[in-house]
Amino acid sequence: MTVAVRFANVGFTYNDAERPTLVGVDLEIPEGEFVLVVGGTGSGKSTLLRAISGLVPRFSGGLLTGEVEVAGRSTANNHPRDLADVVGTVGQNPAASFVADDVEDELAYVMENLGVPPATMRRRVEDTLDLLDLADIRRRPLDQLSGGQQQRVAIAAVLAANPAVLVLDEPTSALDPAAADEVLSALQRLVHDLGLTVIIAEHRLERVVQFADSAILIPGNGEPVTCGAPQDILADPSPRPPVVRLGELVGWEPRPLTVRNARRLAADLRTRLDESQSVARHSEVPTGHRVPHSTNPPATDPLVQVSGLSAAYGSRIVLRNIEFTIDKAEIVAIMGRNGAGKSTLLAHLAGMRRPERGRVDIAGVDPSAVRPDRLIARVGLVPQDSSVLLFCETVEEECATSDRDSSLPPGTTSGVLNSLVCGIDRSLHPRDLSEGQRLALALSIILAPAPEVICLDEPTRGLDSDAKAALVASLATLAAKGHIVILATHDVELVAEVADRVIVLGDAEVVEDGPARRVICHSPVFSPQVARILAPAQWLTVGEVAAALGEASAE
């Protein structure tokens, strides 16, 4: 067996940190292995990945003990540039790594630096464009791509260099479900056919676990790292996808990791749920134990009105004649493939873009015509790049500034942050936080003042299951108080947990608008795992299945 990556008693502590991030890591990753790295927000997953590429500690500071080898080369004795031919890295913020102006030039850049012959370079560019379905945007400027398209380009740029080891940090977080499956399937083919070693850190386990040969659990808080089969690692009280939690609920053994295997075991469960009569088959009305947040009759004067909205980037139309209204106390998910216009729509709702044609009204006012300091009480936006909201030197200063700007009691924003992700050192600079911790800080700044309309663009990127559950609870509480929450997201499990309604964008237009249960259960792309396992009945979450079984038992 050829070892692709080896950790020998590796420990790592960041400068001024109270405890080490990694302790006594001993593991070997064979060549041609698909490895999933799991753990909570800020547990050290990104640190482990960056140690493989040599970026830790050279570019992070801190003390690394033990030895890390990649393809037989020690990261201590080789600069990251000297490892570029054997290990490729895609970080959580792909746009930060771009150096070229358009897609094709970005794919060629690394190969040019490695001295790849022009003929080979040309062939690899074409192969990679086809592999990740990027040929139609090959000449498009990188700054005109959606977040998901940028993520695919970043993966493609690394793959084009033909590394032996590919390290990816949250690679599907900005991808729509279909694109994520295509990317992961392409990586799996490279693992199986060419012996590529793929190491992925991911919170959306329901997308990745079926591809993994093995898994590494990083508990955080300086506890030992463990490695084993995905079934064994996910049996631990670690983050688990819905299919595993459903298996635990009903006692399936062994625990299924895929929808296919779960469906084979689910016949008896479907019968029990049918008998409970908690959810009618094919019902278009939210029923069962997932109570909609918006229980009042439709308002005659909705808070949010979008009429005839159109937008374009140059000659490319991204929104065309968009029309909808949103009432108070609604949680609405905006869904659609990458590049469908979700982020552009949120930018209009938050007043960041002035409508080129059509109108956006928030309580009868065009948000783009309102001064930002006056708009903050009415509309709040957390964009995909949440770091644009952060400008202070420490987390503590960010929280205090948020309280002061929104006239909140001191400690309010810090309290919201602690409810989402506890234990963040308030003395740290925001750039020293993990991606999930940084997102939680940005979410806290927007959620603390509780504006009338809350717009969140991919609000679960980098968040673990506990943080996501806390966010769901917070959004449900705000909606119950009459606030509107609008989510642009590819996280179908988040939509299943919290959304009342789903608006689907496609080809720059609204292609569907209706109750969340009906829209996502009828979609082969956007349906959550529980819905796929228990179809044709329209169950969405493990929680509502547990509630139904509990009530049936009580009867």
Confidence at residue 553, expressed as pLDDT on a 0 to 100 scale: 53
Say if residue 294's pLDDT is above 90.
no
pLDDT grade for 245, boundaries at 50, 70 and 90: very high
Answer whether residue 197 is part of any domain: yes
Average pLDDT over residues 263-279: 84
pLDDT tens for 218-240 read 988 778 899 999 988 887 666 78
CB burial of 469-502 (b: ≥16 within 10 Å; e: otherwise) equals ebbbebbbebbeeebbbbbbbbbbbbbbbbbbbb
Residues 381 and 526 in one domain: yes
Answer whether residue 241 is part of any domain: no
Confidence at residue 252, expressed as pLDDT on a 0 to 100 scale: 93
Residues 228 and 309 in one domain: no
Confidence at residue 6, expressed as pLDDT on a 0 to 100 scale: 96
- Taking the C-alpha atoms of residue 519 and residue 396, their distance in angstroms, rounded to an integer, is 41
Instruction: Give the rounded distance of the alpha carbon of 217 from its chain centre.
Output: 19
Residues 334 and 449 in one domain: yes
Average pLDDT over residues 351-374: 90
- Taking the C-alpha atoms of residue 341 and residue 488, their distance in angstroms, rounded to an integer, is 10
Confidence at residue 236, expressed as pLDDT on a 0 to 100 scale: 65
Q: CA 409 → CA 399, 426, 481, distances in Å?
A: 11, 18, 20
pLDDT tens for 4-47 read 999 999 999 988 778 899 999 999 999 999 999 999 888 899 99
pLDDT tens for 333-349 read 999 998 899 999 999 99
Boundary of a domain, candidates 216, 236, 256:
236
User: How many residues are given for the chain?
Assistant: 555
Confidence at residue 237, expressed as pLDDT on a 0 to 100 scale: 63
In the numeric block, which tokens belong to residue 519? 């829209």
pLDDT tens for 78-87 read 998 889 889 9
Q: Looking at per-residue confidence, does 423 or 288 come out higher?
A: 423
Average pLDDT over residues 390-398: 96
pLDDT grade for 284, boundaries at 50, 70 and 90: very low
Confidence at residue 554, expressed as pLDDT on a 0 to 100 scale: 46
Say if residue 216's pLDDT is above 80.
yes
Question: Whole-number mean pLDDT of the chain?
Answer: 89
In the numeric block, which tokens belong to residue 305? 């009105």
Confidence at residue 301, expressed as pLDDT on a 0 to 100 scale: 66
Answer whether residue 391 is part of any domain: yes
- Taking the C-alpha atoms of residue 94 and residue 155, their distance in angstroms, rounded to an integer, is 8
Q: In what order do the strands lie in the sheet with 304-313?
A: 316-326, 304-313, 357-362
Answer whether residue 294 is part of any domain: no
- Taking the C-alpha atoms of residue 92 and residue 89, their distance in angstroms, rounded to an integer, is 10
pLDDT grade for 366, boundaries at 50, 70 and 90: very high
Alpha helices in 68-174, H assignment, sequence order: 103-113, 118-131, 147-159
Mapping DSSP to helix (H, G, I), strand (E, B) and coil, where does residue 439 land?
helix
Confidence at residue 254, expressed as pLDDT on a 0 to 100 scale: 87
Answer whether residue 292 is part of any domain: no
- Taking the C-alpha atoms of residue 385 and residue 109, their distance in angstroms, rounded to an integer, is 24
Return the C-alpha torsion angle 378, 384, 389, 394, nearest 10: 140
- Taking the C-alpha atoms of residue 459 and residue 485, their distance in angstroms, rounded to an integer, is 12
Residues 345 and 468 in one domain: yes
Alpha helices in 26-176, H assignment, sequence order: 45-52, 55-58, 103-113, 118-131, 147-159
- Domain coverage including residue 176: 3-236
Confidence at residue 373, expressed as pLDDT on a 0 to 100 scale: 78
**Dihedrals φ, ψ of 310, to 5°?**
-130, 150
Residues 208 and 313 in one domain: no
Peptide bond into 536 cis (omega under 30): yes
Residue 36 near residue 214 (C-beta atoms within 8 A): yes
Average pLDDT over residues 291-297: 47
- The set of long-range contacts for 346-350, using a CB threshold of 8 Å and a minimum separation of 24, is 346/381, 346/383, 346/455, 346/457, 346/486, 346/488, 347/381, 347/383, 348/306, 348/309, 348/311, 348/319, 349/304, 349/306, 349/379, 349/381, 349/453, 349/455, 349/486, 350/375, 350/379, 350/380, 350/381, 350/455
pLDDT grade for 183, boundaries at 50, 70 and 90: confident
CB neighbours of 309 closer than 8 A, spacing ≥ 6? 319, 321, 322, 323, 345, 348, 355, 357, 358, 359, 360
Name the CA radius of gyration of the chain, rounded: 23
pLDDT tens for 36-61 read 999 988 889 999 999 999 999 998 88
- Taking the C-alpha atoms of residue 404 and residue 399, their distance in angstroms, rounded to an integer, is 9
pLDDT grade for 296, boundaries at 50, 70 and 90: very low
Residues 227 and 342 in one domain: no
In the numeric block, which tokens belong to residue 88? 């490729």
Mapping DSSP to helix (H, G, I), strand (E, B) and coil, where does residue 510 land?
strand
pLDDT tens for 437-493 read 999 999 999 999 999 999 999 999 889 889 999 999 999 999 999 999 999 999 999
Residues 324 and 225 in one domain: no
Answer whether residue 244 is part of any domain: no
pLDDT tens for 485-521 read 999 999 999 999 999 999 999 989 999 999 999 999 9
pLDDT tens for 147-163 read 788 888 988 999 988 89
Say if residue 288's pLDDT is above 70.
no
Average pLDDT over residues 131-140: 90
Average pLDDT over residues 319-339: 95
Residues 439 and 347 in one domain: yes
Say if residue 290's pLDDT is above 70.
no
pLDDT grade for 292, boundaries at 50, 70 and 90: very low
Residues 225 and 363 in one domain: no
Answer whether residue 49 is part of any domain: yes
User: How many CB atoms are closer than 10 A to CB 233?
Assistant: 21
Task: Provide the residue type at 353 as one letter.
Answer: R
- The CATH number that applies at residue 432 is 3.40.50.300
Confidence at residue 362, expressed as pLDDT on a 0 to 100 scale: 93
The one-character DSSP state at 224 is P
Mapping DSSP to helix (H, G, I), strand (E, B) and coil, where does residue 68 land?
strand
Answer whether residue 253 is part of any domain: no
Percent of the chain scoring above 70 in pLDDT: 94
Residues 215 and 354 in one domain: no
DSSP string covering 290-326: ---S--SPPPSS-SEEEEEEEEEETTEEEEEEEEEEE
Question: In which region does residue 318 sit, left (phi positive, over 0), alpha (psi from -120 to 50) or beta (all else)?
Answer: alpha
Residues 207 and 331 in one domain: no
Residue 334 near residue 486 (C-beta atoms within 8 A): yes
Residues 201 and 313 in one domain: no
Q: What H or E segment, with its residue span, contains residue 66?
A: strand 63-70
Average pLDDT over residues 419-425: 91
Boundary of a domain, candidates 199, 218, 236:
236
Q: Looking at per-residue confidence, does 293 or 111 come out higher?
A: 111
pLDDT grade for 69, boundaries at 50, 70 and 90: very high
Helices and strands in the chain, H and E counts? 21, 19
Confidence at residue 280, expressed as pLDDT on a 0 to 100 scale: 41
Average the pLDDT over each of 29-33, 197-201, 288-292, 538-542 and give the range with the smallest value: 288-292
The distance in angstroms from the start CA to the end CA of the chain is 57
Give the count of domains, the chain: 2
Average pLDDT over residues 318-338: 95
Confidence at residue 208, expressed as pLDDT on a 0 to 100 scale: 93
Residue 521 near residue 531 (C-beta atoms within 8 A): yes
Confidence at residue 528, expressed as pLDDT on a 0 to 100 scale: 96
DSSP string covering 362-413: ETTB-GGGS-HHHHTTTEEEE-SSGGGG--SSSHHHHHHHHHHHTTPPTTHH
